Amino acid sequence: MASPKAIATLSAMLARALGHAIPAEALEVWEAVLKPIPDDLALSAAMDVLRNTTGCFAVAPGAVYQAALERLSERYPSEGEAWELVRQVVRGERTVEALPMPVRKAADQVGWFSLREVSVDDGVTRAHFLQFYREARRQTVNREALGKPEQEALKEGP
């Protein structure tokens, strides 16, 4: 969780980059947006955003949050790797239980029967799998970015 110390460090970085101090009200917004993100991830994501921001415009906290989510998504296989993992299950070289959760979820949505019946070159089934995988990976990463209380609230439902 982005601590007040991390937010202070981020504030100092932004002030140097922009040439002026960040108002306290704005820091409250930054703290609220980045609260679920661990300190090291928030700071490295901020550096990524600052490196890729041109001009003298303010960096939005959402841009840093999205950069942090992108870094979290790197923990999971690329789309091509995810498809290959599914093909390995189909060939009996790997178990379903050994798949990363977003890969398993996407394969379940396509249907294992369909995946077993398809040839490797079937672009339609692969495209459906990749569409489901992108969404499953996005949902998994978003859930990981939440703090424990928010995760528990999602499990309990409304």
Transcribe 69-89 into DSSP letters: HHHHHTTS--HHHHHHHHHHH
Q: What is the reported pLDDT for 158?
A: 52
Report d(CA 111, CA 91) in Å as an integer.
Answer: 15
- Residues 117 and 138: their CA atoms lie apart, in Å, by 27
pLDDT at position 4, please? 83
pLDDT at 31 (0 to 100): 87
pTM for the predicted model, two decimal places:
0.69
pLDDT at 14: 80
Mapping DSSP to helix (H, G, I), strand (E, B) and coil, where does residue 23 land?
Answer: coil
Segments in the chain below pLDDT 70: 1, 55-57, 119-121, 147-158
Distance CA 122, CA 95 (A): 22
Note the Cα 45 to chain centre separation in Å.
12
pLDDT at 92: 94
pLDDT of the residue at 18: 75
Name the residue with tokens 């960096």: 59
